[in-house]
């Protein structure tokens, strides 16, 4: 809707003009009618005006003076002048300064006046359309330029090449740059609940939103659950990151940690990535926080953990000895003198030293990989304690098992096929067949040669294909009845696995 006002010192003329147009029908909001230019201008200061209909000869402030002042406020304002026969010189001056047209009071006809209003609306619409096209063109040019920057940085990083000072990217991104390493939290839980592809979907959504909402900077994925940002900004680093949090991930169902570093020039990109990544690792010791600056880690030389001493302390394995040893290690690790990767490796060394030769090597590797996924020191201690207990239990279960695994898997598969459209986890199925979650995970891999969640997703996609072919349910209803609660994720995953969008699949297979 465009805003319009009428200015004339004759009440009869104001009333006649106001009554001669159905303003809302013409897509206009009538702001009011005023007896002189000064009163009209006061209202203009507070309200945007698109069409001004003004008399030329008025007391206090005449129409031409009002027109000139109004055009300074709103350069795209459309002005219609109202004049008498003896004011033609003023009309010519008004046209010169930008008035669209004029009407003569003595010969004013309603139809002519409405056509003039429609002419103004048409001009406003055309200008708006041009502005929109230019805006999209500018956005497209800006996006293309930033994508070019993104690709160039990725290319140089992948090739391990140095950023020479005369390289094109140095011209594209001059000055100091904020490097932000954004890492997805609770990764193991997300993969187990939604599958590996879900995190890719989330990262793609955030990247698209970043390029739409922020005018500067580049963003791309690094690893399988992390995003990297390079942003020229005068803002304080933490303020910039809080903006990213508010705009990009406020509505996301997952949380992220941010590590950051400021480099003086793009040539230092590799070092900026290293430092921002290390900054992000600080969450391992401070899981309640989300934003971390880079702090130079202390160098620890040599291997600290003495396997023989550890075995003497903890062997033979029992609950009290394990608890005492874990407390000792926790107190050492929490000093934050080591990097998280070193601590996780030491935890893996503890586990493998205790059970190497007693358990299948692939089981032990899976257990150690689980330790590597710990996102905080407290979580690492919990997983290590759990894995020691579960490894002991596995040794007992393996020593007593005969041909019961087939029966367990039959019961598990039956339960999965009955409940796969619901929220289904490894733990739920393990609880149903009364074995540990980890033992069921190992058992499932042995029997199906794929991860549990991947098997469930295949069942859900198969169900979705059947519903698309044999029902008229809407896409979001198909997704929900197949076990997917996020229709956008369902659509993307469906296309990735079948090669068709849900709508195209239905069209193709209902022929």
pLDDT digits (tens, 9 = 90+) for 109-162: 888 888 888 989 988 988 888 777 766 655 565 567 777 777 777 776 766 555
Edge-first strand order for the sheet with 2-7 is 28-34, 2-7, 51-55, 78-83, 101-104
How many CA atoms does the CB half-sphere of 46 hold within 13 Å?
5
- Name the phi and psi angles at 54, rounded to 5: -135, 140
**Whole-model pTM above 0.75?**
no
Tokens of 134: 């230019």
Q: Kindly report the number of other CB atoms within 10 A of residue 475's CB atom.
A: 19
Torsion of CA 9, 12, 13, 17, to 10 degrees: 130
For the chain, the distance separating the N- and C-terminal CA atoms, rounded to the nearest angstrom, is 46
Question: CA angle, corner 63, sides to 61 and 66, nearest 5?
Answer: 65
Q: Which helix (H) or strand (E) holds 102?
A: strand 101-104
Tell me what pLDDT residue 373 has. Answer: 86
Alpha helix stretches (DSSP H) within 104-181:
110-158, 168-172
With CA atoms as reference, report the closest residue to 398 among 435, 429, 452, 432: 435
d(CA 213, CA 149): 17
Choice between 318 and 292, residue whose per-residue pLDDT is larger: 292
Average pLDDT over residues 277-281: 91
Task: Summarize pLDDT for 220-232 with one digit per residue, the tens.
Answer: 888 778 899 988 8
Cα Rg of the chain, angstroms: 35
pLDDT of residue 76: 86
Mean pLDDT over residues 467-490, rounded?
A: 91
- How large a percentage of the chain has pLDDT more than 90? 19
Q: What's the rounded mean pLDDT across residues 345-365? A: 81
Q: Is the pLDDT of residue 428 over 60?
A: yes
**Residue 210 burial by CB count (10 A; 0-12/13-18/19+): exposed, middle or buried?**
buried
pLDDT, tens digit, 9 for 90 and up, residues 375-421: 999 999 999 988 888 888 777 766 655 457 778 888 899 999 999 99
The candidate with the shortest Cα–Cα distance to 158, out of 105, 222, 210, 227, is 222
Residue 222, beta-bridge partner list = 226
pLDDT band of 494, cuts 50, 70, 90: very high
Q: What is the pLDDT of residue 167?
A: 55
- The average pLDDT across 1-5 equals 91
**Distance between CA atoms of 226 and 254, rounded to whole angstroms?**
13
Please give the pLDDT value at position 503.
92
In percent, the amount of the chain with pLDDT more than 70 equals: 85
Q: How far is CA 384 from the centre of its chain?
A: 33
Q: How would residue 254 be classed by pLDDT, with cut points 50, 70 and 90?
A: confident
Packing angle, helices 452-470 and 426-433, rounded to 10: 100
pLDDT over threshold 90, residue 259: yes
Confidence of residue 101 (pLDDT cuts 50, 70, 90): confident
8 Å CB contact between 69 and 96: no
Joined tokens for residue 206: 């955030």
| Residue-wise DSSP of 328-360 | HHHHHHTT--S-HHHHHHHHHHHHHHHHBTTB-
Residue-wise pLDDT for 20-69, tens only, equals 889 998 889 999 999 898 999 999 988 999 999 988 888 888 888 888 88
**160-214: pLDDT as tens digits:** 555 555 555 655 667 788 999 999 988 888 887 887 788 888 888 888 888 888 8
Cα separation of 482 and 459, whole Å?
Answer: 8
pLDDT at 161: 55
């Amino acid at each position: 809707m465009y805003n319009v006002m009428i200015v004339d010192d004759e009440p009869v003329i104001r009333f006649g003009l106001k009554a001669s147009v159905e303003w809302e029908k013409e897509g206009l909001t009538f702001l009011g009618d005023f007896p002189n230019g000064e009163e009209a201008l006061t209202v203009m200061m507070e309200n945007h005006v698109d069409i001004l209909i003004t008399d030329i000869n008025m007391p206090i402030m005449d129409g031409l003076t009002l027109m000139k002042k109004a055009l300074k406020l709103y350069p795209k304002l459309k002005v219609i002048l109202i004049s008498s026969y003896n004011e033609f010189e003023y009309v010519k001056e008004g046209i010169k300064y930008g008035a669209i047209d004029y009407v003569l009071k003595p010969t004013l006809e309603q139809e002519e006046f409405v056509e003039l209003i429609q002419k103004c609306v048409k001009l406003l619409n055309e200008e708006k359309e041009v502005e929109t096209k230019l805006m999209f063109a500018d956005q497209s040019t800006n996006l293309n330029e930033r994508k070019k920057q993104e690709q160039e940085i990725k290319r140089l990083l992948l090739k391990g090449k140095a950023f020479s000072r005369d390289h094109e990217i140095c011209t594209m991104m001059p000055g100091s740059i904020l490097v932000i390493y954004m890492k997805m939290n609770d990764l193991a839980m997300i993969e187990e609940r939604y599958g590996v592809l879900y995190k890719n979907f989330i990262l793609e959504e955030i990247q698209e939103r970043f390029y739409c909402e922020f005018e500067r900077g580049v963003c791309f994925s690094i690893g399988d659950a992390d995003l990297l940002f390079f942003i020229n900004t005068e803002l304080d680093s933490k303020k910039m990151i809080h903006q990213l949090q508010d705009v990009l991930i406020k509505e996301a169902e997952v949380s992220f940690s941010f590590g950051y570093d400021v480099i003086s020039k793009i040539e230092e990109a590799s070092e900026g990535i290293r430092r921002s990544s290390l900054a992000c690792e600080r969450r391992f010791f401070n899981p309640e926080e989300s934003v971390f600056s880079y702090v130079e880690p202390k160098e620890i030389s040599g291997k600290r953990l003495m396997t023989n001493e550890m075995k003497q302390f903890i062997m033979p394995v029992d609950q009290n000895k394990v608890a005492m040893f874990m407390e000792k290690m926790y107190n050492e690790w929490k000093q934050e003198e080591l990097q998280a990767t070193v601590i996780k490796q030491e935890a893996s060394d503890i586990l493998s030293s205790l059970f190497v030769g007693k358990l299948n090597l692939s089981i032990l590797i899976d257990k150690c990989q689980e330790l590597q996924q710990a996102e905080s020191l407290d979580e690492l201690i919990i997983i290590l304690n759990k894995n020691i207990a579960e490894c002991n239990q596995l040794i007992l279960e393996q020593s007593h098992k005969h041909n019961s695994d087939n029966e367990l898997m039959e019961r598990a598969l039956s339960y999965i096929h009955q409940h796969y459209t619901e929220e289904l986890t490894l733990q739920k199925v393990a609880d149903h067949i009364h074995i540990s979650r980890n033992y069921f995970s190992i058992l499932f891999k042995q029997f199906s040669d794929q991860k549990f969640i991947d098997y469930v997703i295949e069942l859900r996609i198969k169900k979705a294909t059947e519903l698309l072919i044999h029902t008229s349910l809407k896409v979001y209803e198909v997704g929900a009845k197949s076990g997917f609660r996020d229709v956008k994720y369902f659509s993307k995953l469906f296309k990735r696995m079948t090669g068709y969008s849900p709508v195209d699949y239905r069209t193709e297979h209902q022929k």
